[in-house]
Structure 1
Amino acid sequence: MTKEVIIEKIDEFLIDEFEVEAEELVPGASLKDSVGLDSLDFVDLVVAVESNFGVKLVGDDFANIVTLQDFYDLIERKLG
């Protein structure tokens, strides 16, 4: 799966399932502040990633995830 497809799928479920505005989905956006995800949303995000990409995420995976780009990179590494 290409990086572009990964980004497209992530953006799609953030818009559809988390009601994030498309214009907020820029690589440097903070997942907590700009995108507006709280701790409960992160649980739902893990479920969405597992169903969309078939990879498991654990709490430690999010230790260094600050921006949307960090999240894209995490999923790319998990799929890699």
Structure 2
Amino acid sequence: MTKEEIFDRIATLIKEQLGKVDLVVTPETSLKDDLGVDSIALTEFVITLEDDFNLEIPDEDVEDMTSMGDMLDYLALRLAK
């Protein structure tokens, strides 16, 4: 899976979760500032990612994710293993 494919998938998932399918999401998009994702929504999103990509994401790793690009880099690294 390429980074572009991973990003397309996580962008689709966050749009679905937020109920905003027309939302423009880039790697620079801030989860909190641009998308208004609070800690509960972030936890729900991480669970969705874990299910969709079939991996476990430790809570301490989530703390470093502030943008869509952070999630992309993390998932690309984990999926490459």
Same fold, judged at TM 0.5 (above): yes
Counterpart for residue 50 of structure 1: 50
RMSD over aligned CA atoms reads 1.3
Shift of 1:32: 0.9
Residues 1-80 of structure 1 aligned to structure 2 (within 5 Å): 1-20=1-20, 21-23=22-24, 25-80=25-80
Alpha-carbon contact 1:30-1:67 (below 8 Å) kept: yes
Identify unmatched segments of 5+ residues in structure 1.
none
TM-score after normalising by structure 2? 0.86
Higher helix residue share: 1
What stretches of structure 1 move > 3 A for 4+ residues in a row?
Answer: none
Residue 19 of structure 1 and its aligned partner are, at CA, apart by 2.2
Tell me the TM-score normalised to structure 1 length: 0.87
- Aligned-partner SS, 2:73: helix
Give aligned-pair identity as a percent.
Answer: 27
Structure 2 portions without partners, runs of 5+: none
Counterpart Cα distance in 1 of 2:60 and 2:34:
22
